[in-house]
Amino acid sequence: MEKEKVIEKISEALSKSKKRKFTQTVEAGFTFQDIDLESTKYKLNLNVFLPKGRGKEVEVGVFADGDMEVRAKKHSKHVYNKAHIEELAKNRRKMRKIADECYSFIAQADLMTTVGKNLGIVLGSRSKMPQPVPPNADLAPVIERMKNSVRVRS
């Protein structure tokens, strides 16, 4: 189906609905015929950026050390350094709670091995392994992009 037809059908559905006293949303469901989603050729695993945001605030967890840790505390309340990561590895219950509170994670590139080794069993099973970020990167746009995106998987 072409993009224009999808937009046309959504516009048609919105115009036919009666007016409400609140902001309406549109939910779309798609059925894929004759496609084997078990095949690796058709697997979906991507982040879709939403230009107008998600409509609600989500938390992004940050694994950082040093200067990046200080900068990350301005943008997220879930900031963990190397000592916190090793402490969380000993307490799975606390790590599960943090993994459920945060929608996604980012990590300083040189901490990825520590995160994977200590927290991979909890984050990997939830498909929340952190996205690596260089230590000198500006965190504000990275965190905003993560907050305004949705993960699509099949």
pLDDT (tens digit, 0 to 9) for every residue of the chain, 154 residues total? Answer: 688 888 898 888 888 888 888 887 777 787 778 878 788 887 777 888 888 888 888 899 999 998 988 988 998 889 999 899 889 889 889 999 999 999 989 999 998 999 999 998 898 888 888 999 988 888 889 988 888 888 887 7
- Exposure string of 59-77, with b = 16+ CB inside 10 Å and e = fewer, is bbbbbbbeebbebbeeebe
**3-state DSSP assignment of residue 74:** coil
Homologous superfamily (CATH) of 1-154 is: Ribosomal protein L1/L10, domain II (3.40.50.790)
Provide the pLDDT for residue 153.
77
Amino acid at 125: S
**3-state DSSP assignment of residue 73:** coil
Provide the pLDDT for residue 24.
76
> What one-character-per-residue DSSP string does 23-58 give?
-----------S--TTSGGG--EEEEE-TT--SS--
Instruction: Tell which residue, 98, 67, 62, has the closest CA to residue 80.
Output: 62
Domains in the chain: boundaries = 1-154
Provide the pLDDT for residue 1.
64
Q: For the whole model, what pTM was predicted? A: 0.72
